[in-house]
Structure 1
Amino acid sequence: MAEDIVAFLRLFAPHAPDPESAARVVALAADPKQWPAAHRLFDEVRRRWLGTSDRLRQGQYAFEEICLKTLYNETAAVDPFDSDSAYYVVPFALSRARQLGVPVQRVLDIVAPGK
Protein backbone atom coordinates (compact mmCIF):
# COMPACT_ATOMS: atom_id res chain seq x y z
CA MET A 1 0.00 0.00 0.00
CA ALA A 2 2.82 2.43 0.82
CA GLU A 3 4.21 2.22 -2.71
CA ASP A 4 0.76 2.96 -4.09
CA ILE A 5 0.39 5.96 -1.80
CA VAL A 6 3.70 7.38 -2.97
CA ALA A 7 2.71 6.79 -6.60
CA PHE A 8 -0.66 8.51 -6.10
CA LEU A 9 0.93 11.49 -4.35
CA ARG A 10 3.47 11.84 -7.16
CA LEU A 11 0.71 11.55 -9.76
CA PHE A 12 -1.24 14.41 -8.20
CA ALA A 13 1.70 16.62 -7.13
CA PRO A 14 1.99 18.52 -10.44
CA HIS A 15 -1.67 19.55 -10.05
CA ALA A 16 -1.45 20.56 -6.38
CA PRO A 17 -2.72 24.04 -5.57
CA ASP A 18 -0.50 23.87 -2.45
CA PRO A 19 2.82 22.53 -3.77
CA GLU A 20 4.56 22.96 -0.39
CA SER A 21 2.12 20.64 1.36
CA ALA A 22 2.25 18.16 -1.52
CA ALA A 23 6.06 18.06 -1.45
CA ARG A 24 6.18 17.54 2.31
CA VAL A 25 3.65 14.70 2.21
CA VAL A 26 5.43 12.99 -0.70
CA ALA A 27 8.79 13.25 1.08
CA LEU A 28 7.36 11.74 4.26
CA ALA A 29 5.52 8.97 2.41
CA ALA A 30 8.64 7.98 0.45
CA ASP A 31 10.71 7.48 3.63
CA PRO A 32 9.35 4.90 6.09
CA LYS A 33 11.66 6.28 8.79
CA GLN A 34 9.57 9.47 8.70
CA TRP A 35 6.20 7.77 9.08
CA PRO A 36 6.10 8.31 12.87
CA ALA A 37 5.95 12.06 12.07
CA ALA A 38 2.84 11.53 9.92
CA HIS A 39 0.52 12.44 12.80
CA ARG A 40 2.22 15.80 13.26
CA LEU A 41 2.07 16.52 9.52
CA PHE A 42 -1.57 15.40 9.49
CA ASP A 43 -2.30 18.08 12.10
CA GLU A 44 -0.66 20.71 9.89
CA VAL A 45 -2.56 19.56 6.79
CA ARG A 46 -5.80 19.64 8.80
CA ARG A 47 -5.11 23.28 9.81
CA ARG A 48 -4.56 24.16 6.16
CA TRP A 49 -7.83 22.44 5.19
CA LEU A 50 -9.80 24.26 7.87
CA GLY A 51 -8.26 27.54 6.73
CA THR A 52 -9.47 27.43 3.14
CA SER A 53 -12.72 27.35 1.22
CA ASP A 54 -10.97 26.50 -2.07
CA ARG A 55 -12.37 23.15 -3.26
CA LEU A 56 -9.17 22.09 -5.03
CA ARG A 57 -7.12 22.73 -1.89
CA GLN A 58 -9.70 20.93 0.23
CA GLY A 59 -9.50 17.96 -2.13
CA GLN A 60 -5.73 17.96 -1.92
CA TYR A 61 -5.76 18.11 1.86
CA ALA A 62 -8.42 15.41 2.20
CA PHE A 63 -6.33 13.04 0.10
CA GLU A 64 -3.12 13.93 1.95
CA GLU A 65 -4.86 13.32 5.27
CA ILE A 66 -6.03 9.82 4.39
CA CYS A 67 -2.54 8.96 3.17
CA LEU A 68 -0.93 10.30 6.35
CA LYS A 69 -3.41 8.40 8.54
CA THR A 70 -2.63 5.18 6.72
CA LEU A 71 1.14 5.62 6.93
CA TYR A 72 1.02 6.59 10.60
CA ASN A 73 -1.00 3.48 11.40
CA GLU A 74 1.75 1.38 9.82
CA THR A 75 4.08 2.46 12.64
CA ALA A 76 2.14 0.47 15.26
CA ALA A 77 1.58 3.69 17.17
CA VAL A 78 -0.20 3.61 20.51
CA ASP A 79 -2.57 6.34 19.27
CA PRO A 80 -3.52 5.17 15.77
CA PHE A 81 -6.09 6.73 13.53
CA ASP A 82 -9.18 4.69 12.64
CA SER A 83 -8.12 1.22 11.55
CA ASP A 84 -10.09 1.47 8.31
CA SER A 85 -8.14 4.49 7.03
CA ALA A 86 -6.23 2.45 4.44
CA TYR A 87 -9.53 1.28 2.94
CA TYR A 88 -10.27 4.83 1.76
CA VAL A 89 -7.00 5.58 -0.04
CA VAL A 90 -8.06 4.20 -3.43
CA PRO A 91 -11.59 5.69 -3.44
CA PHE A 92 -10.11 9.07 -2.44
CA ALA A 93 -7.49 8.72 -5.20
CA LEU A 94 -10.21 8.07 -7.75
CA SER A 95 -12.17 11.11 -6.55
CA ARG A 96 -9.04 13.27 -6.61
CA ALA A 97 -8.24 12.17 -10.16
CA ARG A 98 -11.74 13.12 -11.28
CA GLN A 99 -11.51 16.47 -9.50
CA LEU A 100 -8.20 17.27 -11.22
CA GLY A 101 -9.07 15.87 -14.63
CA VAL A 102 -6.39 13.19 -14.33
CA PRO A 103 -7.45 10.07 -16.23
CA VAL A 104 -8.89 7.56 -13.76
CA GLN A 105 -7.03 4.85 -15.66
CA ARG A 106 -3.77 6.23 -14.26
CA VAL A 107 -5.03 5.53 -10.74
CA LEU A 108 -6.17 2.06 -11.77
CA ASP A 109 -2.77 1.38 -13.35
CA ILE A 110 -1.16 2.04 -9.96
CA VAL A 111 -3.44 -0.27 -7.99
CA ALA A 112 -3.83 -2.96 -10.63
CA PRO A 113 -0.93 -2.73 -13.07
CA GLY A 114 -1.48 -4.55 -16.35
CA LYS A 115 0.87 -7.01 -17.91
Structure 2
Amino acid sequence: MRRPIATAVLTALLGLLPLDGQAADDLRSSIAADYQARLGPLFRWFHANPELSHREFRTAERLAAEIRALGYEVTEGVGGTGVVAVLRNGEGPTVLIRADMDGLPIAEDSGLDYAS
Protein backbone atom coordinates (compact mmCIF):
# COMPACT_ATOMS: atom_id res chain seq x y z
CA MET A 1 0.00 0.00 0.00
CA ARG A 2 1.43 3.34 -0.94
CA ARG A 3 1.82 5.89 1.81
CA PRO A 4 -0.89 8.33 0.53
CA ILE A 5 -3.43 5.50 0.49
CA ALA A 6 -2.36 4.32 3.94
CA THR A 7 -2.62 7.87 5.26
CA ALA A 8 -6.10 8.30 3.79
CA VAL A 9 -7.29 5.01 5.28
CA LEU A 10 -5.76 5.85 8.65
CA THR A 11 -7.34 9.30 8.64
CA ALA A 12 -10.75 7.83 7.80
CA LEU A 13 -10.46 5.24 10.57
CA LEU A 14 -9.34 7.81 13.11
CA GLY A 15 -12.47 9.79 12.31
CA LEU A 16 -14.54 6.89 13.60
CA LEU A 17 -12.82 6.84 17.00
CA PRO A 18 -14.13 8.90 19.91
CA LEU A 19 -10.87 10.82 20.36
CA ASP A 20 -10.29 14.50 20.96
CA GLY A 21 -7.99 16.34 18.56
CA GLN A 22 -4.81 15.88 20.58
CA ALA A 23 -5.44 12.16 21.24
CA ALA A 24 -6.08 11.58 17.53
CA ASP A 25 -2.90 13.45 16.61
CA ASP A 26 -0.92 11.42 19.16
CA LEU A 27 -2.34 8.14 17.82
CA ARG A 28 -1.63 9.19 14.22
CA SER A 29 1.96 10.08 15.15
CA SER A 30 2.43 6.79 16.97
CA ILE A 31 1.16 4.75 14.02
CA ALA A 32 3.30 6.73 11.56
CA ALA A 33 6.40 6.22 13.72
CA ASP A 34 5.73 2.48 13.97
CA TYR A 35 5.24 2.28 10.20
CA GLN A 36 8.54 4.06 9.57
CA ALA A 37 10.40 1.90 12.08
CA ARG A 38 9.01 -1.56 11.30
CA LEU A 39 6.35 -1.88 8.64
CA GLY A 40 7.92 0.35 5.99
CA PRO A 41 11.22 -1.55 5.88
CA LEU A 42 9.35 -4.87 5.94
CA PHE A 43 7.09 -3.77 3.08
CA ARG A 44 10.14 -2.74 1.04
CA TRP A 45 11.95 -6.03 1.79
CA PHE A 46 9.01 -8.15 0.64
CA HIS A 47 8.66 -6.12 -2.58
CA ALA A 48 12.40 -6.19 -3.29
CA ASN A 49 12.54 -9.99 -2.82
CA PRO A 50 9.49 -11.49 -4.57
CA GLU A 51 9.19 -15.26 -4.88
CA LEU A 52 6.86 -17.29 -7.10
CA SER A 53 4.05 -19.44 -5.73
CA HIS A 54 5.24 -22.56 -3.85
CA ARG A 55 8.78 -21.13 -3.86
CA GLU A 56 8.36 -18.49 -1.13
CA PHE A 57 11.08 -19.95 1.10
CA ARG A 58 12.81 -16.68 2.10
CA THR A 59 9.47 -14.89 2.31
CA ALA A 60 8.06 -17.55 4.65
CA GLU A 61 11.24 -17.54 6.75
CA ARG A 62 11.17 -13.75 7.12
CA LEU A 63 7.44 -13.65 7.85
CA ALA A 64 7.77 -16.40 10.49
CA ALA A 65 10.65 -14.57 12.18
CA GLU A 66 8.77 -11.26 12.25
CA ILE A 67 5.61 -12.83 13.65
CA ARG A 68 7.53 -14.93 16.17
CA ALA A 69 9.23 -11.76 17.44
CA LEU A 70 5.75 -10.38 18.22
CA GLY A 71 5.04 -13.31 20.55
CA TYR A 72 3.05 -15.61 18.30
CA GLU A 73 3.42 -19.41 18.25
CA VAL A 74 4.59 -20.09 14.70
CA THR A 75 4.41 -23.27 12.62
CA GLU A 76 6.35 -23.24 9.37
CA GLY A 77 6.21 -25.48 6.30
CA VAL A 78 2.42 -25.84 6.26
CA GLY A 79 1.54 -27.10 2.79
CA GLY A 80 5.14 -26.48 1.74
CA THR A 81 5.86 -22.81 2.36
CA GLY A 82 2.85 -21.81 4.47
CA VAL A 83 3.11 -20.12 7.86
CA VAL A 84 0.53 -20.47 10.64
CA ALA A 85 0.70 -18.18 13.66
CA VAL A 86 -1.37 -18.31 16.84
CA LEU A 87 -1.54 -15.56 19.43
CA ARG A 88 -2.97 -16.94 22.65
CA ASN A 89 -4.67 -14.21 24.63
CA GLY A 90 -7.34 -15.97 26.67
CA GLU A 91 -10.83 -17.29 26.17
CA GLY A 92 -12.97 -16.08 23.33
CA PRO A 93 -13.38 -16.48 19.60
CA THR A 94 -10.55 -17.38 17.28
CA VAL A 95 -9.91 -15.08 14.33
CA LEU A 96 -8.36 -16.45 11.13
CA ILE A 97 -6.57 -14.22 8.65
CA ARG A 98 -5.34 -15.70 5.37
CA ALA A 99 -2.99 -13.96 2.99
CA ASP A 100 -1.04 -14.83 -0.13
CA MET A 101 2.67 -14.10 -0.08
CA ASP A 102 3.78 -15.04 -3.57
CA GLY A 103 5.06 -12.52 -6.06
CA LEU A 104 4.21 -12.25 -9.73
CA PRO A 105 6.79 -12.57 -12.52
CA ILE A 106 6.47 -9.01 -13.81
CA ALA A 107 8.90 -6.20 -14.48
CA GLU A 108 7.75 -3.39 -12.19
CA ASP A 109 8.28 0.00 -13.80
CA SER A 110 7.72 2.17 -10.74
CA GLY A 111 11.20 3.62 -10.37
CA LEU A 112 11.23 2.62 -6.70
CA ASP A 113 14.49 1.28 -5.28
CA TYR A 114 12.66 -1.77 -3.91
CA ALA A 115 10.71 -2.57 -7.10
CA SER A 116 10.33 -6.21 -8.05
Q: Which has the higher strand share?
A: 2
Same fold per superposition (TM over 0.5) = no
TM-score (norm 1): 0.29
TM-score (norm 2): 0.28
